[in-house]
Amino acid sequence: MFRAQRVALATSVSLVVLSLPAFAQTVTELPTVVVEAPDGPEGADEGTGIPVVETSAGPVQGFRALTAESATRTNTPISEIPQSIQVIPRSVIDAQNDLTVSETLQNVSGTQGSNPLQLPAPGFMYVRGFPAEMWIDGLTTFNNGGNGDSLVNVERIEVLKGPNAILYGGGTGSPLGGAVNVVSKMPLDEAFAQFGFTYGSYQFLQPTFDVNTPLNKDGTILFRMTGEYTNADSFVDVIETEKYSINPTVTFTNKDDTTLTIQGRFTSWEQQDYQGLPATGTITGPFRLDPDMYIGPSNTPNATSRVQSVTANFDHEINDVWSVNIQGRVSQTEWNEPMQNYFSTDFAGNAPLPPDYAGGDYPAWYVMNALLSQKQQEATIAGNALAEFDVGITRNKFLVGADFSRITEVASMYYPMLPTGTVNFLDPVYPPYVEPFPGDGLGTIGTDNDNVYTTAGAFVQLQTTIGERIHLLGGLRLANLQIDSNTYDYYSLTNAVQDLSTTDLLPRVGAVVDIVKGFSVYASYTEGLKGNPFTIYNGPPAPERSKQSEAGIKFDLGYGLTGSMAIFEINRTGVPVAVGLYAEPIGEQRSRGFEVDVLWQPNRNWQVLANYSYIDAVLLNDIPGVGEAGNQLNIVPPNSGRLWVNYTFDPGPLQGWSVGAGVYAASGAYVDLANVYETDGYFTVDANISYKKDNFSASLTAKSLTGEEYYVPYNYYGGRVAPGEARGIFGKVAWTFK
């Protein structure tokens, strides 16, 4: 919501301007089950000696997950899925001692997580050049509130690329660039408890716990609860973050054919709102601003984001052929975002005011107090029936299902008609923050919003393997999307009511062909449909549509060398474009590219993970006042990649020790759609040394080891910049009791 509200705020304030004078998750030592590797490419040992470990989310071999459910809603070998899907198992997260989900996403080509300085909100993750969404256990989280970057309850992360609309509804439709599905830890049969503690740079403090126990003697009721609390300063002045996440889960099972799992999620994020820095004074211009500067008074109230939710998941095997699954979630999400925003002759404020505006020959910007707030209630249910059967030389999985989601929202956005004042950012003195509200005597205007978003869909999908060498996938979704928007404008004193209702048939087709053992080619096509909430159209509102074509190869060449390569094209139409005070669904965008993800595990000691992506994301039509056809989309670097090498020592004097190091590199990226400002390329280096023995583990991790100073595009009010992560050292210890 906030991103769209900022667009509206930007439009309104721009008219005013023109009228003015010229450390880390705890290492998880949990009970595991080692199973024999299956025959064939998936899980084949090929002399590496790496066992297959059965986790609650599926089998994992070292750094490699063997199956994934997100792409098909069935437990399918990754080599048989006709699209690029990357899975980050817990073993990778622990080996790298990642701090957040966003940091972990560097292990996936063409994927960007949210900036850790930014308020948790939708649209700040990117896959293949377009905004992506976060899901939790296959259900959308819509606005990704609370401490969504927490890793304490994560068993694995599955990244789907492209629209992926066939099997998933919720929110306002399907994601444009892809989806990041966070798969939660589930209760296990064996009792254990783990407690950890992390301390590091910038007063980073994080205690964690993970407690699992059967609640009865026969193990048919299982309970697990994870949690963490984080309090940390920042390399950016003023910023202090406080967040927590508590995740209780209980499973009822007859250990045969029926399981019911109920999950709770209680999470909070609290921090001063960080708006980024202007391009002038950072990546361009005749002067330089302090990169660690926080813009606004130091006593600005904290922004907050909180989520409480309950999820139920029911699985039942009817017979040897049929099984059913039903998921449901109810949640409440709250945001409150007080800020003192800066702007100039345009709302992004990437250049200072001209001297005659500022009243002096110094780099000054307007500042303005503002308040954004929102409360949402969401109810989602999704169910499907799966039939698995053989016919002749074919193996088949037939899936049929439906889903429904309804989100109700009350939101507001308040700001004064005139700026609070001007501030010289080279010697800033900020006016005090005063919370604005209509009728406060300061000429405050804004909007009150009362919105309802409803999605519903029915789908069918067929997966067929012919003779063990050809894997076909086809599906259809009948999707319905409704948005009922009621906006009261305090400037015009009018009420705008706009409704969107659309129904579409969305296809998905794909095929994988095994050329030889361990080497496959694939191709696929899929479409997506998405609404745009908080957008006031000049005429009837319209949804966005997206279409993706993809082709590539998947390989398992033996001796632990596995991976995939892909080429893709996504076309996006119906993008809302601001025309005066309103929007028109006339934007067209395209993303093309190439990506590769490789993992080499030659033996139990070595793991080498590498990825690279090239993304060419452009505007396809002119947008007056914003950008021209052919301009690059902002935020996303055209080139990026990651290399991580890990080594675990054999039994002997160094038994229990492991070391790892990695580099992440990205080219420069445009800050704005006009392509006026562009950041430079950069790289970061991380390293880790760990020790594990019996019930004790410890590690020391260095982040951004070289201390390189750089800027990245920051997705705020049309595009600004933010300093890259500073060097940090983090130590942690953990004890496990069984």
pLDDT, tens only, 576-604: 887 665 678 889 999 999 999 999 999 99
Predicted confidence at residue 47, as pLDDT, reads: 63
User: How many angstroms separate the CA atoms of 688 and 698, rounded?
Assistant: 11
pLDDT above 60: residue 40: no
Indicate the pLDDT class of residue 4, thresholds 50, 70 and 90: very low
pLDDT at 83 over 60: yes
Mean pLDDT of 494-503: 88
Report whether 355 contacts 364 (CB < 8 A). no
Q: Which of the two residues, 566 and 36, has the higher pLDDT score?
A: 566
Would you say 125 and 180 are in contact if contact means Cβ atoms under 8 Å apart? Answer: yes
Mean pLDDT of the 475-492 span? 90
Q: In this predicted structure, which of 106-110, 119-123, 542-546 has the lowest mean pLDDT?
A: 119-123
The C-alpha atoms of residue 105 and residue 138 are separated, in whole angstroms, by 18
* % residues pLDDT > 70 (the chain): 92
Candidates 16, 717, 677, 20; CA nearest to 358 is 20
Decide which of 336 and 626 is more confident: 336
| Mean pLDDT within 62-67 | 92
| 183 close to 154: Cβ distance less than 8 angstroms | yes
Tell me the β-bridge partners of 330. Answer: 310, 379
Which of 382-396, 439-453, 503-517, 533-547 shows the lowest per-residue confidence on average (mean pLDDT)? Answer: 533-547
| pLDDT value at residue 326 | 96
Correct CATH for 2-290+304-360+373-737 of 2.40.160.60, 2.40.170.20, 3.90.1210.10, 2.40.40.20: 2.40.170.20
Q: What is the percentage of the chain residues whose pLDDT exceeds 90?
A: 72
Say if CB 228 and CB 185 are below 8 A apart: no
Confidence band of 498 (pLDDT split at 50, 70, 90): confident
Tell the residue number behind the tokens 């066939």, with chain if given. Answer: 166
pLDDT at 680 over 90: yes
Q: Which of 71-75, 111-115, 221-225, 434-438 has the highest mean pLDDT?
A: 221-225
Phi–psi pair at 209, nearest 5 degrees: -150, 155
Tell whether the model's pLDDT for residue 143 goes beyond 80: no
Q: Please give the backbone phi and psi of residue 532, each rounded to the nearest 5 degrees, phi first.
A: -120, 100
pLDDT of 355 reads: 82
Residue type, 691: Y
User: What pLDDT sits at residue 625?
Assistant: 81
Handedness of CA 82, 382, 101, 734 (dihedral sign): negative
Separation between Cα atoms, residue 553 and residue 571, nearest integer Å: 22
How far is 568 from 552, CA to CA, in rounded Å? 9
The DSSP letter of residue 368 is E
Per-residue confidence band for 533, with pLDDT thresholds at 50, 70 and 90? confident
Whole-number pLDDT of residue 431: 94
Of 28-42, 172-186, 637-651, 716-730, the range with the lowest mean pLDDT is 28-42
State the residue for tokens 């701090």: 99
How many angstroms separate the first and last alpha carbons of the chain? 45
Higher pLDDT, 686 or 73: 686
Q: Is the pLDDT of residue 540 over 80?
A: no
Query: Average pLDDT of the chain?
Result: 89
What is the residue extent of each domain of the chain? 2-290+304-360+373-737
How many other C-beta atoms lie within 10 A of the C-beta of residue 288? 10
> Under a CB-based contact definition with an 8 Å cutoff, are residues 40 and 80 in contact?
no
Q: What is the pLDDT of residue 156?
A: 96
Contacts of residue 147, defined as CB under 8 A and 6 or more positions apart, other chains included, come to 120, 230, 243, 244, 245, 267, 268, 269
